[in-house]
Structure 1
Amino acid sequence: MDWPEGLLLSYYGDDFTGSTDAMEAMTAAGVPTVLFLDLPTPEALARFPGVRCVGLAGSSRGRSPAWMDEVLPKAFSALAALGAPILHYKVCSTFDSSPRIGSIGRAIDIGVRQMPGNWSPTIVGAPRLKRYQAFGNLFAAVNGVGYRLDRHPTMSRHPVTPMAEADLRRHLAQQTERDIELIDLVQLRQGEANTLRQQMERDDPPVVLIDVMDEETLLEAGRLVWQGRGAGLFSASSSGLPYALTTAWRAAGLLPAQPSLPVAPPVDRIAAVSGSCSPVTAAQVQWARQHGFETVRLALAPALGKASREGEIERVVSLAGAALAEGRSALVFSAEGPDDRDVLGFDALADEAGLTRDAAARMVGSTLAEVMRRLLDRVDLQRVVVAGGDSSGEVTSALGIDALTVTAAMSPGAPLCRAWSRNPRRDGLEIVLKGGQMGEASFFGRVRDGAAAS
């Protein structure tokens, strides 16, 4: 297996938490990676000599196809110009999307124009994250129980992009007219994949879904993509793609046999904000409340009101800031799970504020971002956490962070990152961006206590 000079992969993350997930997969395997929050300039890239993977954190998961048509061509073109043989559109490992919001099909139609390849592989399964694809159907495990995505307790009820179809061929066909093929786990294990892939190639590149159920199929998927990269490929995939590629590179002796990240040391206190409404995050909020965190609920009605928003921000900042001043950790959250009263009544709250649902959702994220900004301006903190993909994007943008690198392991899919910023108060800040479905119940304690958390 050959190993070219320069970049191996460039990627656009459809949300911020997913962007750090992909960065963790590459960094842990021994591939130096940096994630930018804006299109990287030559001057910005020069700060990271030896980098072999470059990411760009985006927000397309919550955007319309019209927004994608306007924004993604420029982003994809800039990343393709960096010269990596694979351009990765990083999607969530639950593949939640729709023709109206976060259309993965539209992103594929835009992205394949940027690379010369005549097939477009898609790897969604990621065993490390308990995501599995079998015969084109996607499964995810929760508390040790595996669910088909259309029967998943959270993703089947997602407030914006509920998964009503687990067969990704059928799901994706609602978003693109492009041909959609499948290389299944039996074909991978029987050594038929490369021949099948060659038969599928054509001038108008098809999407080729590749099953991943375990380490064996992960390895074969990685080999298939790398060997079939040709002059350059576009791939809309979860972090299953970097996991697959690094597994193949490791098997070929191109990466260290024992990949690892340092273990995060403890800190005395952390500040956290959460805009997630998943049951996983709800359990984490409850754990924090029971283990000494000051947990402060953001009241959405005043937070969405023009006249009342400032007062609500100051209320929660004062409560959280007082706890931090006393040496305790603080968590500001907007909801506790999908059955939370404000989640169920969110449309009514938005109507009352005179906002569309999408505008109201962004207002919640920007309010949490302002809460975190004020906390960091008032209290010297080493480490912070943001839960929720949209919230993570709002917070990192509000803090003036230019780039992120992974510094330590924390929880699969949610590493400890170092912030790079031209603002001296933000440069060097440790930050964890957590997707709604990521982490064990004691997640916030683990971020604070490092290896000592249980």
Structure 2
Amino acid sequence: MSPLPPGPLVAFYGDDFTGSSAVMEVMAFAGLSAVMFLSPPTPARLAAFADRRCIGIAGIARSRPPDWMDEHLPPLYAALGRIGAPLVHYKVCSTFDSSPQIGSIGRAIDLGAQAFPARWIPLVVGAPALERYQVFGQLFAGLNGTAHRLDRHPVMARHPVTPMDEADLIRHLGRQTGRRMGLIDFPSIKRGDGDRKRRALAGDDAPVIAIDVLDDETLAAAGALIWQARSEGRFVAGSQGVEYALVAHWREAGLIPCDAPVPTTAPAERIAVVSGSCSPVTAGQIAHAEENGFASLRLDVTQAVDDVTWDREIGRVLEQAKSIAAAASPLIYTARGPDDPAIAALAEACRSAGADPARVNDRIGAGLGRVLEAMIADGGLTRAAIAGGDTSGHAALALGIDALEAIAPLAAGSPLCRAHATRPGRDGLELALKGGQMGTPDFFSAVRAGRRLDAA
């Protein structure tokens, strides 16, 4: 087995910000340095991080329609190609939530196939560390210790934008692209037949080939298939399961150490939190935080249908949040779970005002960023957390930072990161980005304590 080549091994685009930080986590805590830019870096800025083994760009494609992808993804793919990594990864959420109208993974793959011609496009979504399992092409996701088929998942089947009504990933993806597809199922992998099946399925039409992952053996086998056949398939789609699989293979092959030192960080006296998530998992985390010294404030999102009323609402919350940040950890949220009346109220406010929901959601994310920026500045805070995949991008950009590096594990998929910025006062800020489904009830307390959730 040849050693790993020098330079970047993986270049990636994440279709939301929280998922992008999860890719960094997998690579960085395996001893492979990683950086994630919040927008395409200039050549000079990229040169400052040229020694990183994993380089990515965080994005918002998950919440955008196909015509947005047609305009924005080709130049992003071109930027990733110039990094020179042997693999280019379009990173999707580990619950694969998408539709033909919003966050189309199929359209992103079609554009990737144009940018990076190949004989096959690997698709890996399963990630056992996250309780994500793909079996016979069906995706299962864990919640509170129980694995649910995705179309019966208590949360994802009820997602407010892209509810998952199909657990068969090939059927689901078939609604978004006409590309030929195939499956390397786990019995094929278990009997050592995976690569033969890959060769039989590959072709000049660059089919998507999904790979079952349900345990450590199939995870490492998926990584071997991707890495050993990368000359025929440089472009890869899937969750952070792609990086988990690569790391598992590299370890099994003796290309990287099996145990990298686990970094730690000190506690912070106070942190700031903003949440645009409507997940029940995040709702539980907000409740736990309130019971453990955080002071919460609700942001009335119905006011976001109009610039004037939204500025007034931001001002109201800022006045209260500033006083909190001087003595406690403030937590600003927009909803407490999928049944929060604020969700229906926002939809009705958009209808009544004739406002574009996508534009309103962008305004909400940017508003949360403004609030977070003010809390950090006025409270002298050095650590913060943002909850919500669609929220994180807008809120992080409002802080004036341009890159993140994972510095310590918290919960799987949500590391603590260090921010890089050319703006004085923001370089070195510690930030945790959390997707709706990520973390145990004490997540926000763990961010404050700098504590890994699976540690004693």
Q: Which residue of structure 2 lines up, in the alignment, with residue 433 of structure 1?
A: 433
Q: Structure 1: where are the runs of 5+ without partners?
A: none
Aligned-residue offset at 1:306: 2.9
Aligned-residue offset at 1:398: 1.1
Aligned-residue offset at 1:42: 2.6
Structure 1: which amino acid aligns with 2:424? P
Paired residue secondary structure (1:331) = strand
**Residues 61-76 of structure 1 mapped to structure 2, 5 A cutoff:** 61-76=62-77
Paired residue secondary structure (2:406) = strand
Q: Which residue of structure 1 lines up, in the alignment, with residue 288 of structure 2?
A: 287
Aligned-residue offset at 1:39: 1.5
In the alignment, the residues of structure 2 paired with residue 394 and residue 30 of structure 1 have an alpha-carbon distance, to the nearest angstrom, of 30
Q: Which residue of structure 2 lines up, in the alignment, with residue 396 of structure 1?
A: 396
Q: TM-score under structure 2 normalisation?
A: 0.97
Count of matched residue positions in the alignment of Structure 1 and Structure 2: 453
Q: Which residue of structure 1 lines up, in the alignment, with residue 31 of structure 2?
A: 30
Report if the CA contact (8 A) 2:223-2:248 is conserved: yes
Q: Which residue of structure 2 lines up, in the alignment, with residue 382 of structure 1?
A: 382
Q: What is the CA deviation profile of residues 323-361 of structure 1, one whole-angstrom value per residue up to 9, with x for unaligned ones?
A: 1112x1110000000000011333102123431222222
Q: Which residue of structure 2 lines up, in the alignment, with residue 188 of structure 1?
A: 189
Report if the CA contact (8 A) 1:261-1:407 is conserved: no
Paired residue secondary structure (2:55) = strand
Q: What is the CA deviation profile of residues 212-249 of structure 1, one whole-angstrom value per residue up to 9, with x for unaligned ones?
A: 00111101110111111116511111000000001101
**Residues 233-252 of structure 1 mapped to structure 2, 5 A cutoff:** 233-252=234-253
Q: What is the CA deviation profile of residues 407-441 of structure 1, one whole-angstrom value per residue up to 9, with x for unaligned ones?
A: 11111100010110001111100000000000000
Q: TM-score under structure 1 normalisation?
A: 0.97
In the alignment, the residues of structure 2 paired with residue 261 and residue 452 of structure 1 have an alpha-carbon distance, to the nearest angstrom, of 10
Aligned-residue offset at 1:451: 2.6
Q: What is the CA deviation profile of residues 146-190 of structure 1, one whole-angstrom value per residue up to 9, with x for unaligned ones?
A: 100000011001010000000001000000000010000110111
In the alignment, the residues of structure 1 paired with residue 137 and residue 260 of structure 2 have an alpha-carbon distance, to the nearest angstrom, of 29
Report if the CA contact (8 A) 1:300-1:349 is conserved: no
Q: Which residue of structure 2 lines up, in the alignment, with residue 210 of structure 1?
A: 211
Q: Which residue of structure 2 lines up, in the alignment, with residue 197 of structure 1?
A: 198
Change beyond 3 A, Cα 1:59–1:28: same
Change beyond 3 A, Cα 1:389–1:205: same
Q: Which residue of structure 2 lines up, in the alignment, with residue 98 of structure 1?
A: 99
Structure 1: which amino acid aligns with 2:350? A
Structure 2: which amino acid aligns with 1:222? G
Q: Which residue of structure 2 lines up, in the alignment, with residue 412 of structure 1?
A: 412
Aligned-residue offset at 1:379: 2.2
In the alignment, the residues of structure 1 paired with residue 295 and residue 429 of structure 2 have an alpha-carbon distance, to the nearest angstrom, of 21
Structure 2: which amino acid aligns with 1:247? A
Aligned-residue offset at 1:72: 0.2
Report if the CA contact (8 A) 1:281-1:336 is conserved: yes
Q: Which residue of structure 1 lines up, in the alignment, with residue 168 of structure 2?
A: 167
Change beyond 3 A, Cα 1:228–1:363: same
Report if the CA contact (8 A) 1:263-1:410 is conserved: no
Report if the CA contact (8 A) 2:8-2:51 is conserved: no
Q: Which residue of structure 1 lines up, in the alignment, with residue 352 of structure 2?
A: 352
In the alignment, the residues of structure 2 paired with residue 94 and residue 114 of structure 1 have an alpha-carbon distance, to the nearest angstrom, of 25
Structure 2: which amino acid aligns with 1:115? F
Change beyond 3 A, Cα 1:251–1:452: closer
In the alignment, the residues of structure 2 paired with residue 302 and residue 105 of structure 1 have an alpha-carbon distance, to the nearest angstrom, of 35
Structure 2: which amino acid aligns with 1:173? G
In the alignment, the residues of structure 2 paired with residue 240 and residue 12 of structure 1 have an alpha-carbon distance, to the nearest angstrom, of 14
Report if the CA contact (8 A) 1:266-1:452 is conserved: no
Q: Structure 2: where are the runs of 5+ without partners?
A: none
Q: Which residue of structure 2 lines up, in the alignment, with residue 144 of structure 1?
A: 145
In the alignment, the residues of structure 2 paired with residue 377 and residue 448 of structure 1 have an alpha-carbon distance, to the nearest angstrom, of 17
Report if the CA contact (8 A) 2:326-2:378 is conserved: no
Change beyond 3 A, Cα 1:452–1:195: closer
Aligned-residue offset at 1:49: 4.5
Q: Which residue of structure 2 lines up, in the alignment, with residue 5 of structure 1?
A: 6
Paired residue secondary structure (2:415) = strand
Structure 2: which amino acid aligns with 1:170? R
Change beyond 3 A, Cα 1:282–1:212: same
Change beyond 3 A, Cα 1:15–1:452: closer
Paired residue secondary structure (2:8) = coil
Change beyond 3 A, Cα 1:231–1:122: closer
In the alignment, the residues of structure 1 paired with residue 308 and residue 20 of structure 2 have an alpha-carbon distance, to the nearest angstrom, of 35
In the alignment, the residues of structure 1 paired with residue 451 and residue 392 of structure 2 have an alpha-carbon distance, to the nearest angstrom, of 24
In the alignment, the residues of structure 2 paired with residue 154 and residue 260 of structure 1 have an alpha-carbon distance, to the nearest angstrom, of 35
Q: What is the CA deviation profile of residues 51-82 of structure 1, one whole-angstrom value per residue up to 9, with x for unaligned ones?
A: 11110111000001000000000000110122
Report if the CA contact (8 A) 1:85-1:232 is conserved: no
Q: Which residue of structure 2 lines up, in the alignment, with residue 369 of structure 1?
A: 369
Aligned-residue offset at 1:269: 0.4
Paired residue secondary structure (1:384) = strand
Paired residue secondary structure (1:29) = coil
Q: Which residue of structure 2 lines up, in the alignment, with residue 88 of structure 1?
A: 89
Q: Which residue of structure 1 lines up, in the alignment, with residue 265 of structure 2?
A: 264
Identity %: 50
In the alignment, the residues of structure 2 paired with residue 179 and residue 232 of structure 1 have an alpha-carbon distance, to the nearest angstrom, of 15
Paired residue secondary structure (2:231) = coil
In the alignment, the residues of structure 2 paired with residue 354 and residue 423 of structure 1 have an alpha-carbon distance, to the nearest angstrom, of 37
Structure 2: which amino acid aligns with 1:398? A
Aligned-residue offset at 1:256: 1.6
**Residues 257-336 of structure 1 mapped to structure 2, 5 A cutoff:** 257-326=258-327, 328-336=328-336
Structure 1: which amino acid aligns with 2:330? A
Aligned-residue offset at 1:199: 1.1
Q: Which residue of structure 2 lines up, in the alignment, with residue 15 of structure 1?
A: 16
Paired residue secondary structure (1:11) = strand
Q: Which moved further from structure 2: 366-375 or 116-125?
A: 366-375
Q: Which moved further from structure 2: 133-142 or 229-238?
A: 229-238
Q: Which moved further from structure 2: 43-52 or 199-208?
A: 43-52
In the alignment, the residues of structure 1 paired with residue 443 and residue 216 of structure 2 have an alpha-carbon distance, to the nearest angstrom, of 26
Structure 2: which amino acid aligns with 1:358? A
